[in-house]
Amino acid sequence: MCFLCFGSVTNTTEPSLRLPKTSLLKLSYRSLLKATNGFSSSNLIGVSGFGSVYKGTLDEGGKVVAVKVLNLEHRRASKSFMAECEALRNIRHRNLVKVLSVCSGFDHQGNEFKALVYELMANRSLDVWLHPSNPRRGEWPTRSLSLLQRLNIAIDVASALEYLHHHCHASIVHGDINTTNVFLDSEMTAHVGGFGLSTLIGEDMTPGKSALIQSFSCFLAVVSM
């Protein structure tokens, strides 16, 4: 059984999960289980401190997606899930990863289950390109990024952060900009994801110096590697 986070959920132990109804696919735990072949290791495409990401193919039109399953044994995973839901609730930008569905409920064994479903990025994370031999990221052909590609990626990331800082209803500080949270689509356009440590800082405030340093540091790191 799975509760979809369209307006609020039946689970009273956590705040209401609010995401736009019309923008989300209606997916259950069972459909995600099937899409990822039982969350098979062969479908694993990424691992983070708060969970694992699996490639999945939905029955609905055969759409290929990325399913981030939270590791709820981690004491901060639920808080990360809530932060990501809140951050993604009202943001839309070409350089942000698009969320397709959110699921919060229980698996077949009655264990709590939380997952976010994203549009799959064909060229995976920037980390895979910069560190192709990293065993945690799976097998990936040895490739390299040209200086122009690195510059374009940095511009894409800067554009996403500028939007989060200055053009959202409430400014958002991402809090975890690194190569594992920058994803590349089929045209090598960069998309920022991984909002588990993000912070909303209010309508009447602007991001502080730390956020600006974060943006500039990301730019330098991508271009110079």
pLDDT tens sequence across 42-61: 999 888 778 899 999 998 77
Q: Where are the alpha helices (DSSP H) in 36-185?
A: 77-88, 126-130, 147-166
Neighbours of 218 (CB within 10 A): 24
Task: Examine the pLDDT at 185 and tell me if it is beyond 90.
Answer: yes
Residues 156 and 65 placed together within one structural domain of the fold:
no
Number of domains in the chain: 2
Query: What's the predicted TM-score (pTM) here?
Result: 0.78
Measure the CA dihedral 31/71/98/105, to 10°.
50
Catalytic option among 107, 127, 156, 176: 176
Task: Return the CATH number at 109.
Answer: 3.30.200.20
pLDDT in tens, 71-126: 998 878 888 888 888 787 778 899 999 888 888 889 888 999 999 999 999 998 99
Q: Could you read off the pLDDT of 186-216 as tens digits, one per residue?
A: 999 999 998 888 888 765 555 555 555 555 5
Which residue, 101, 119, 137, sits at the end of a domain?
119
Helix 147-166 and helix 209-224: axis angle, to 10°?
170
The larger pLDDT score, comparing residue 59 to residue 133, is at 59
176 is catalytic: yes
Chain segment 138-174, per-residue pLDDT in tens: 455 557 899 999 999 999 998 998 898 888 877 888 8
| Residue 130 and residue 179 share a domain | yes
Residue range of the domain that includes 220: 126-224
Q: According to the model, what pLDDT value does residue 9 have?
A: 36
Do 115 and 151 fall into the same domain? Answer: no
